[in-house]
Amino acid sequence: MSQSIISPAIISPATQIDPNYNFAYLNEQTKKMIRRALLKAIAIPGYQVPFAGREMPMPYGWGTGGVQITASILTPDDVLKVIDQGADDTTNAVSIRKFFQRTAGIATTLNTSTATVIQTRHRIPEQKLQQGQILVYQVPIPEPLRFLEPRETETRKMHAFEDYGLMHVKLYEDISQHGHIATTYAYPVMVEDRYVMDPSPIPKFDNPKMNNNPALQLFGAGREKRIYAIPPYTKVVSLDFEDHPFEIQAWDQPCEICGAGDSFLDEVIMDDQGTRMFVCSDSDYCQSRSEVQS
Amino acid sequence: MNQPLFSVTNLSKKFGKTIACNDISFDLWPGEILGIVGESGSGKTTLLRSIAGLIKPDQATINYQHKNKTLNIDQMDEPELRHLQRTEWAFVHQHPRDGLRMNVSAGANIGERLMANGWRHYDDIRAEAIKWLEAVEIDAKRIDDLPRTFSGGMQQRLQIARNLVTNPRLIFMDEPTGGLDVSVQARLLDLLRGLVRDLGLSAIIVTHDLAVARLLSNRLMVMKDGQVIEHGLTDQVLEDPQAAYSQLLVSSILQV
Amino acid sequence: MPILQIKNLHKKFTLHAQNGAVLNVLNGINLQVKAGEIAALCGPSGAGKSSLLKAIYGTYRIDGGDIKVKTTKQTINIAKAEPRQIMNLRRDVIGYVSQFLRVIPRIGALDIVAEPAIMQGMSPDQAHSIALDLLDQLRIPQKLHNLSPLTFSGGEQQRVNIARAMAAPRPLMLFDEPTASLDPQNRQTVLELIAQLRDQGTAILGIFHDPADRKFLHARDIHLSAVKEAEHV
* pLDDT tens profile A105-159: 999 999 999 999 999 999 999 999 999 999 999 999 999 999 889 999 999 999 9
CA-closest candidate to residue B105, choices A181, A178, A173, A175: A173
Q: Tell me whether residues B239 and C14 touch, CB distance under 8 A.
A: no
Global pTM reads: 0.86
Band of the pLDDT at B71, cuts 50, 70, 90?
A: very high
Nearest CA in chain B to A165: B116
Give me the pLDDT at residue B254, please. Answer: 67
Q: How far is A244 from chain B (nearest CA, A)?
A: 7
Cα–Cα distance measured from residue C157 to residue A251, given in angstroms and rounded to the nearest whole number = 72
All residues at 6 or more sequence positions from B205 whose CB lies less than 8 Å from its CB, including other chains: B33, B34, B35, B36, B172, B173, B176, B212, B213, B216, B217
**Chain C, 119-158: which have a CB under 8 Å from a chain B CB?**
119
Check CB contact under 8 Å for B197 and C61.
no
Q: Which of B62, B199, B92, B112 is nearest to B155 (CA)?
A: B92
3-state secondary structure of C137: helix
Using a CB-CB cut-off of 8 Å, the residues of chain B touching C84 are 29, 32
- Rounded mean pLDDT of B54-78? 93
- C132 contact partners, CB below 8 Å, separation of at least 6: C110, C145
Bin A71: left if φ > 0, else alpha if -120 < ψ < 50, else beta.
Answer: alpha
Among chain A residues, CA nearest to B80:
A161
Under 8 Å between Cβ of A227 and A51: yes
Name which residue leads in pLDDT, A117 or C108: A117
The residue of chain B nearest to residue A164, with distances taken between CA atoms, is B116
Distance in angstroms (rounded) separating the CA atoms of residues B18 and C34? 56
Do residue B121 and residue A175 have CB atoms under 8 angstroms apart? no
C103 CA to centre of own chain? 16
What pLDDT, on a 0 to 100 scale, did the predictor assign at position B211?
85
Please identify among residues 184-203 of chain B the ones whose CB lies closer than 8 Å to any CB of chain A: none
Strand order from edge to edge, sheet including A189-191: A195-197, A189-191, A236-238
CB pair distance less than 8 Å for B122 and A175? yes
- Dist. CA C14–CA A193, nearest whole Å: 66
Taking CB atoms and an 8 Å cutoff, what residues of chain B touch A156?
A: none
With CB atoms and an 8 Å threshold, state whether A172 touches B113. no
* Contact yes or no for C16 and B189 at CB 8 A: no
* Beta-carbon contacts below 8 Å between B and C: 52
What is the reported pLDDT for A4? 40
For B161, the 3-state DSSP assignment is helix
Looking at the predicted structure, is the pLDDT value of residue B101 above 90?
A: yes
Interval B14-57: pLDDT, tens = 999 999 999 999 999 988 999 999 988 899 999 999 999 999 99
Q: Which residues in C lie closer than 8 A to residue B247 (C-beta atoms)?
A: 15-17
Q: Are B195 and B24 a contacting pair, CB within 8 Å?
A: no
Q: Which of B122, B140, B197, B207 is nearest to B164 (CA)?
A: B197
Instruction: Give B252→chain A minimum CA distance, Å.
Output: 43
Contact C105 B186 (CB under 8 A): yes
CA distances from C81 to A78, B51, C61 (A): 84, 26, 10
pLDDT at C227: 42
| Partners of residue B193 in chain C, C-beta under 8 Å | 104
pLDDT band at B137 (very low <50, low <70, confident <90, very high): confident
> Which residue of B120, B128, B146 is the best one to mutate when testing the A interface, meaning the one whose CB has the most A CBs within 10 A?
B120
Query: Does position A190 have pLDDT exceeding 70, yes or no?
Result: yes
Helix A152-160 vs helix B78-87: crossing angle, to nearest 10: 90
Buried-state track C10-32, b at ≥16 Cβ within 10 A, e below 16: bbebeeeeeeeeeeebbbebbbb
- Chain C window 42-71: which residues touch B at a Cβ cutoff of 8 Å? 54, 58-61
**What pLDDT, on a 0 to 100 scale, did the predictor assign at position B52?**
96
Cα C107 from Cα B189, distance rounded (Å): 10
Distance CA B192, CA B197 (A): 8
Share of chain C above pLDDT 90, in %: 75
Please tell me which of the candidates B215, B219, B244 has its beta carbon nearest to residue C16. Answer: B244
- C and A adjacent (3 or more CB pairs under 8 angstroms): no
Per the document, the length of chain C is: 233
3-state helix/strand/coil string of A79-145: EEEEEECCECCCHHHHHHHHHHHHHHCCEEECCCCCCCEEEEECCCCCCCCCCCCEEEEECCCCCCC
Assess: ipTM above 0.90: no
Mean pLDDT computed over A187-212: 97
B vs A contact (3+ beta-carbon pairs below 8 A): yes
C107–B240 C-beta distance less than 8 A = no
Interface of A with B in 216-275 (CB under 8 A): 240-244
pLDDT category at C102 given cuts 50, 70, 90 is: confident
DSSP state at residue A185: B
Q: Which of B193, B215, B239 is the closest to C59 by Cβ? A: B239
Q: Which residues of chain C are within 8 Å of residue B192 when distances are taken between CB atoms?
A: none
With beta carbons under 8 A apart, name residues in chain B contacting A241.
120-122
pLDDT (0 to 100) of residue A5: 44
Nearest CA distance, B85 vs chain A (angstrom): 12
How many angstroms away from the CA of B113 is the closest CA of chain C? 30
Of C73 and A70, the structure prediction assigns the larger pLDDT to A70
Instruction: Return d(Cα B60, Cα C186) in angstroms, integer.
Output: 57
Going by C-alpha positions, the residue among A188, C160, A207, C54 that lies closest to residue B233 is C54
* The pLDDT of residue C19: 87
Contact by Cβ (8 Å): A116, A133: yes
Partner-chain contact B193 C104, CB within 8 Å = yes
Shortest Cα distance, chain B CAs vs residue A230, angstroms: 25
Q: Which chain A residue has its CA at the smallest distance from B125's CA?
A: A172
User: Which residues from B are below 8 Å from A173, CB to CB?
Assistant: 104-105, 108
Query: Which of chain A's residues have a Cβ under 8 Å away from the Cβ of B126?
Result: 176
The answer to whether residues C172 and C69 touch, using CB atoms and an 8 Å cutoff, is yes
Average pLDDT, chain C: 90
Contact between chains at C60 and B247 (C-beta distance less than 8 A): no
Lowest mean pLDDT segment, chosen from A215-219, B182-186, C28-32, C220-224: B182-186
- Contact flag A169-B125 (C-beta cutoff 8 Å): no
Instruction: Kindly list the catalytic residues of A.
Output: 46, 255, 258, 280, 286
By the CB < 8 Å criterion, does C104 face chain B? yes
Q: What confidence score (pLDDT) does residue B255 get?
A: 62
A residues 134-163 near B, CB within 8 Å? 148, 157, 160-163
pLDDT in tens, C161-176: 999 999 999 999 999 9
Provide the pLDDT confidence category of residue B256 given band limits of 50, 70 and 90.
low
| C199 exposure class (CB count in 10 Å sphere: 0-12, 13-18, 19+) | exposed
Whether C102 contacts chain B with CB within 8 A: yes
- What is the widest separation between alpha-carbon atoms in chain B? 57
Please tell me what DSSP assigns to residue A276: E
